[in-house]
Amino acid sequence: MDSSVRAVVWRLIRPGALAAVQGLAVALLSLTTNVALFVLSVVSLALIPALGIGFAIFPAVTVLVRASLTLQRRLSRWSGAPIASPYAPVPAGARIGTWRRFRWVVGDPATWRDFAWLIPGAITGGVCLLAFVLPAYGLEGVLFVPLVLYLTIDWYGYGVFWPMDNLAKAWLAAPQGWLLLAGGLVAARWLMWLHFRFAGLFLAPTRAQELALRVRHLTATRADTIDTQAAELRRIERDLHDGAQARLVALRMSIGLAEKLLADDPVAAQRLLSEAQEASGHALAELRDLVRGIYPPVLAERGLDGAVQALALAVPMPVDLDVQLAGSPPAAVESAAYFAVAEALTNVTKHSGAGRAWIQLFYDDGVLKMVVGDDGRGGATVDAGTGLAGVRRRLAAFDGTMTVTSPPGGPTVVTMELPCELSSPRISPSSGTG
């Protein structure tokens, strides 16, 4: 078979084959953990009247249930419809075994929705086993040579659909296997989709929970934004006081002293004026750097794509650049994106030990996506003090997200997303290598 034909065939069967394997994983997880956790939940509830033992056991069981169902929510990404977490934050001081913890667990509607899902989830998860069994059973008739099936009739006795007692029926196993394999691959994707859509009725946040989660998110991001702005204002004030302001004060004193010496000592006055001229140049440079840190002029002059190209050229290593933007995001989003990419590149330069980096910027379905990667040593984390935590806070102010993939040995890939709308379409996208 030609390689191009094989590639086309693989692209056709790959989603179904992947869904089949995923169906097996979902089935095993649902059938084992859901049933076991349901039994533990019933037992812990039954022990509440028994000397209050359930007050300590029930919240502990809830932790296990939430851990299992959090994993199942993450697996829902396989269906293309990820399920968000509906849980309220744990109150301060609500330790397991305390009345406050028990009251919080019982009062959270998500707790009871989780318990309500355990048995239906085991049933629909068990049905997902068909996503694996059907194509696997069809593959049996495709891969097993019919003659081998015929020769082993005495101990095997069955083909794909019916008992085989002669060579003709053995040969019919293959076409039946192809039909069952193709149907199973198609059905696998639908079974996974139906399972997670049904799971969303129990595991997804309700409208009230979505509003509460949104309020908490906005409260947290607003606090981070206020703290960041206050810190930025303090930085600007400090830079002005210690830098440009100090130079301007010295400049004023030098000019005043030169004015007094102009009649008696012109040479000294000329020297002071030269020093004042030099000081004014330094003060102007510091003011320019300060303004550049607030809103880089390159953004206003060249837009986000040109500004990112300038960043790539300033990095002391080869940077593969791929920018595909059909327009410009709003100024605030553009600034946040620029500084996020700049910080990610700074981390690459300082911490990665990489020999090459790459940047991708593109717009997809209402989201500006930025990917910064390198072939360095890996091991990067958001909490490692590399500035990525600040990038996450900056993006969160615009409902943006950041994920870091950095296994030991690399590569490191930082993916940042900012929801926005583009305006001012450009004539053509830009791409290149820095």
> What would the 3-class secondary structure string for 22-81 be?
HHHHHHHHHHHHHHHHHHHHHHHHHCCCCCCHHHHHHHHHHHHHHHHHHHHHHHHHHHCC
DSSP string, 340-357: HHHHHHHHIIIII--S-E
Beta pairing class for 367-374 and 401-405: unpaired
CB of 114 within 8 A of CB of 65? yes
Residue 139 has pLDDT above 70, yes or no: yes
Between these two residues, 66 and 180, which has the higher pLDDT value? 66
Specify whether 242 is located in the same domain as 273.
Answer: yes
Q: Across residues 157-183, what is the average pLDDT? A: 65
- One domain, residues 183 and 261: no
Q: Which residue is it, tokens 């204002």?
A: 233
Q: Report, as an integer, the average pLDDT of 75-102.
A: 76
User: Given this model, what pLDDT does residue 195 score?
Assistant: 92
Q: Are residues 200 and 78 in the same domain?
A: yes
- 254-258, 305-309, 317-321, 355-359: least confidently modelled range: 254-258
φ, ψ of residue 322 to 5 degrees: the values are: -135, 100
In three-state secondary structure terms, 294 is: helix
**Contact of 359 with 371, CB cutoff 8 Å:** yes
The predicted pLDDT at position 159 comes to 45
Peptide bond into 411 cis (omega under 30): yes
| Cα–Cα distance for residue pair 66/123, rounded to 1 Å | 19
Q: What is the DSSP secondary structure assignment for residue 241, as one 8-state letter? A: I
Best CA proximity match to 187, nearest among 23, 338, 423, 76: 23
Closest CA relative to residue 209, chosen from 119, 116, 113 = 113
Judged against a pLDDT cut of 50, whether residue 162 lies above it is answered with no
The answer to whether residues 20 and 163 belong to one domain is yes
Where is pLDDT greater, at 90 or 120?
A: 120
The answer to whether residue 124 scores a pLDDT higher than 90 is yes
Instruction: Say if residue 53 is in the same domain as residue 168.
Output: yes
Whether residues 271 and 324 share a domain: the answer is: no
Among 92-106, 182-196, 255-269, top mean pLDDT goes to 182-196
Cβ atoms < 10 Å from Cβ of 12: 12
User: Over 139-197, what HEC string results?
Assistant: HHHHHCCHHHHHHCCCCCCECCCCECCCHHHHHCHHHHHHHHHHHHHHHHHHHHHHHHH
> How confident is the model over 133-155, as a mean pLDDT?
64
Measured between alpha carbons, how far is 345 from 36 in angstroms, rounded to an integer? 47
User: Bigger pLDDT: 272 or 429?
Assistant: 272
Task: Give how far Cα 78 sits from Cα of 72, 190, 233, 266, Å.
Answer: 10, 11, 44, 81
**Confidence (pLDDT) at 232:** 65
> Are residues 184 and 237 located together in one domain of the fold?
no
Report the C-alpha dihedral over residues 281, 295, 361, 419, rounded to 10 degrees: 170
Tell me the pLDDT of the chain averaged across its residues: 78
294, 323, 356 - which closes a domain:
294
- How far is the C-alpha of 149 from the C-alpha of 424, rounded, in Å? 67
| 277, 317: one domain | no
Same domain, 59 and 188: yes
180/182 Cα distance (integer angstroms): 6
Q: Within this chain, do residues 323 and 283 fall inside the same structural domain, yes or no? A: no
- Give the model's pLDDT for residue 432: 45
Domain boundary among 294, 318, 347: 294
pLDDT one-digit tens code per residue, 374-432: 988 888 887 766 678 878 877 887 888 888 888 888 888 999 999 888 876 544 344 44
- Please, which pLDDT band fits residue 37 given cuts at 50, 70 and 90? very high
Both tokens of residue 149?
């099936």
Where among 205, 233, 264 does a domain terminate?
205
Q: Which residues form the domain of 258? A: 214-294
pLDDT at 118: 93
Q: Which residue has the tokens 């330069």?
A: 349
Domain count, the chain: 3
Residue 387 sits in the same domain as residue 332: yes
pLDDT value for 38: 92
Higher pLDDT, 178 or 402: 402
Instruction: Look at residue 117 and tell me whether its pLDDT is greater than 90.
Output: yes
Residue 309 shares a structural domain with residue 379: yes
Nearest-angstrom CA–CA distance, 133 and 188: 9
